Amino acid sequence: MSPVIYIPGDSGALALGAEKVAKAIAAELGARGIEATIVRNGSRGLYWLEPMVEVATDAGRVAYGPVKPSDVTSLFDAGLISGGQHRLSLGNPEQIPFLAKQTRLTFARCGITDPLSLDDYEAHGGLAGLRKAVAMAPADIVQTVTDSGLRGRGGAGFPTGIKWKTVHDTVAERKYIVCNADEGDSATFADRMIMEGDPFVLIEGMAIAGIATGATKGFVYIRSEYPHAIRAMEAAVRVARRAGVLGPAVLGSPNAFDIEIRAGAGAYVCGEETSLLNSLEGKRGVVRAKPPLPAIQGLFGKPTVINNVISLASVPIILDKGGEFYRDFGMGRSRGTIPIQIAGNVKHGGLFEAGFGLSLGEIVDEIGGGTATGRPVKAVQVGGPLGAYFPRDLFDTPFDYEAFAAKDGLIGHAGITVFDDTADMLKQARFAMEFCAIESCGKCTPCRIGSTRGVETLDKIAAGIEPEKNRALVTDLCNTMKFGSLCALGGFTPYPVMSAINHFPDDFAPQAKLEAAE
């Protein structure tokens, strides 16, 4: 068997030069007359080490990184093919503390397998969940998912099993499974990584959802900012169809299920489920009032399961190992694992899947290793542009839906952006309002107009115009947006704004700063 070299095709690795590294390695193999197979795997999620090149040896995988094209010749001189020592040697990647400390359930294969090889997928435990599902009664599949305690990983945290049960119990001639892959929150890239690195796990999860609820058609709505993920999913769907994983007889069973990949068009608000459904129908991505729930009247008015990528990608292992197995991870009412995405100004940025319950401080300081700039951490925003800014005082907060809600925050899609002490929290609060104004769908007044008034009022505070009065005004405005908006865009924009005001009051007192400067 010829040696196998793994060079990630993940877009994060590509952004750091993986394509040039792959070309250099191919050229070097040719020049030296070495026969080897190059596999473009997903990323393991250790982005400070990307592009991370791995070689399969008799003693297991050996990793090198971060590799630059100019390192390639010396890597071959050092015996790359047999895992030889080099200054970029990382040894067995699974022993790197960042990976060794994780509990990889959803991301079990990501970065290990060839994303488009169904054989590789099966050899690493893939399709075991779907094989069990085709032999089960639909209601039992729903019960297993309910028992697992899985909650919506897109951010809302709604129990997945309950959603599925509603669709299962609603009688209709056509039902849909819609996968929300409109991962627009800054600091989040888990959906992108799994779609690029292990697309079959999402396909398998959607097929299980289809069998459980009686839906025969699935859509994956992927944001247009993710062209690599779109290509990977399209290719994987074609492979799955050819192999009979999708189609009129899923794995030879009487269940029909097929998937279509759809690209978004650059509207952040389409990550909101009802807006996404309108977009899929070919309409403006305007939010719908609920009720009716999408589970009863969703896509084209039909009962629809709409779940985030990670929720659906967590289903295969739940079916394979059982609801109890998954439920045994986590804390409180947050069961199972969560892929935490550590981003921004951080030394060890990447994806860290673990059971719920790590403290924010452990994640930022120990796992993330503090800031990339080496300066003190000032704030971390948890949950994307609609998530709260947390100061160091709150770093003992455990990563859990309820614990974050209790501190006026949210875990959202589990993205964490780290800021060093140069961050200006008034500027960040203003950006939250500005982003809401740019992305508002325009349907409800608090979001559409409130966000623009919010920018103006924060500008007044920055200019030192009646700061106290204007801080009170922003607080009042945030209250109106929080309780008066139709969806989370207007409703949650107050989280970053108010947390910045409450936890970093000094940044909102520019008058004092000006005087001090004079």
Report d(CA 481, CA 394) in Å as an integer: 25
> Which part of the chain contacts another protein (CB under 8 A), choosing from 98-106, 259-267, 287-295, 444-452?
259-267
Residue 227 binds another protein, judged by CB under 8 A:
yes
Least Å distance, CB 345 to another protein, is 4
Which residues pair with residue 45 across a beta bridge?
Answer: none
Closer to another protein at the Cβ: 83 or 303?
Answer: 303
Nearest to 385 by CA among 416, 408, 352: 416
293 to 312, contacts with another protein by CB under 8 A? 300
Report d(CA 59, CA 89) in Å as an integer: 15
For 223-265, give the DSSP string. -TT-HHHHHHHHHHHHHHHHTTSSBSSGGGSS--BEEEEEE--
Least Å distance, CB 395 to another protein, is 17
Which residues pair with residue 177 across a beta bridge?
Answer: 218, 305
Helices 138-148 and 160-169: angle between axes, nearest 10 degrees: 160
Least Å distance, CB 176 to another protein, is 9
Report d(CA 181, CA 491) in Å as an integer: 21
> Which part of the chain contacts another protein (CB under 8 A), choosing from 23-31, 120-128, 135-143, 343-351?
343-351
Q: Which of 281, 324, 421, 456 binds another protein (CB under 8 A)?
A: 281
Other CB atoms within 10 Å distance of the CB of residue 349: 25
Q: Which of 262, 321, 375, 407 binds another protein (CB under 8 A)?
A: 262
Report d(CA 175, CA 167) in Å as an integer: 8
Tokens 């795997």 correspond to 41
Q: Which of 298, 415, 454, 490 binds another protein (CB under 8 A)?
A: 415
Residue 28 binds another protein, judged by CB under 8 A:
no
Least Å distance, CB 44 to another protein, is 12
Residue 372 binds another protein, judged by CB under 8 A:
yes
Residue 16 binds another protein, judged by CB under 8 A:
yes
> Which part of the chain contacts another protein (CB under 8 A), choosing from 80-88, 244-252, 257-265, 327-335?
257-265
Q: Which of 288, 439, 474, 497 binds another protein (CB under 8 A)?
A: 439
The vertex-218 CA angle with 144 and 307, nearest 5°, equals: 50
Handedness of CA 154, 160, 162, 167 (dihedral sign): positive
Residue 504 binds another protein, judged by CB under 8 A:
no
Residue 14 binds another protein, judged by CB under 8 A:
yes
Q: Which of 9, 285, 330, 510 binds another protein (CB under 8 A)?
A: 285
Residue 376 binds another protein, judged by CB under 8 A:
no
Q: Which of 6, 47, 76, 492 binds another protein (CB under 8 A)?
A: 47
> Which part of the chain contacts another protein (CB under 8 A), choosing from 31-39, 127-135, 282-290, 392-400?
282-290
Residue 50 binds another protein, judged by CB under 8 A:
yes
Residue 489 binds another protein, judged by CB under 8 A:
no
Here the tokens at position 252 are 């030879």
Least Å distance, CB 256 to another protein, is 16
> Which part of the chain contacts another protein (CB under 8 A), choosing from 54-62, 104-112, 281-289, 305-313?
281-289
Residue 40 binds another protein, judged by CB under 8 A:
no
Residue 263 binds another protein, judged by CB under 8 A:
yes
Closer to another protein at the Cβ: 200 or 389?
Answer: 389
Report d(CA 461, CA 467) in Å as an integer: 5
Report d(CA 259, CA 238) in Å as an integer: 10
Residue 419 binds another protein, judged by CB under 8 A:
yes
137 to 176, contacts with another protein by CB under 8 A? none
Closer to another protein at the Cβ: 118 or 410?
Answer: 410
> Which part of the chain contacts another protein (CB under 8 A), choosing from 128-136, 276-284, 309-317, 328-336?
276-284
3-state helix, strand, coil in the chain (%, to 5): 50, 15, 35
Backbone angles phi, psi at 187, to 5 degrees: 85, 0
Which residues pair with residue 334 across a beta bridge?
Answer: 331
> Strands 389-391, 415-420: parallel, antiparallel or unpaired by DSSP?
unpaired
Tell me which H or E stretch contains 316: helix 315-321
Nearest to 113 by CA among 55, 40, 50: 40
The residue count for binding another protein (CB under 8 A) is 65
Least Å distance, CB 383 to another protein, is 11
Other CB atoms within 10 Å distance of the CB of residue 376: 11
Side-chain half-sphere CA neighbours of 502 within 13 A = 16
Report d(CA 398, CA 395) in Å as an integer: 8
> Which part of the chain contacts another protein (CB under 8 A), choosing from 23-31, 160-168, 326-334, 347-355?
347-355
Closer to another protein at the Cβ: 33 or 374?
Answer: 374
The amino acid sitting at 324 is E
DSSP summary character for residue 95 = G
Residue 71 binds another protein, judged by CB under 8 A:
no
Contact (Cβ atoms closer than 8 angstroms) between residue 401 and residue 151: yes
Closer to another protein at the Cβ: 16 or 142?
Answer: 16
Here the tokens at position 178 are 């819609």
Residue 62 binds another protein, judged by CB under 8 A:
no
Binding site for another protein (CB under 8 A): 11-12, 14-16, 47-48, 50, 183-189, 191-192, 217, 224-228, 260, 262-268, 279-286, 300, 341-346, 349-351, 372, 381, 384-385, 415, 417-420, 423, 428, 431, 435, 438-439, 441
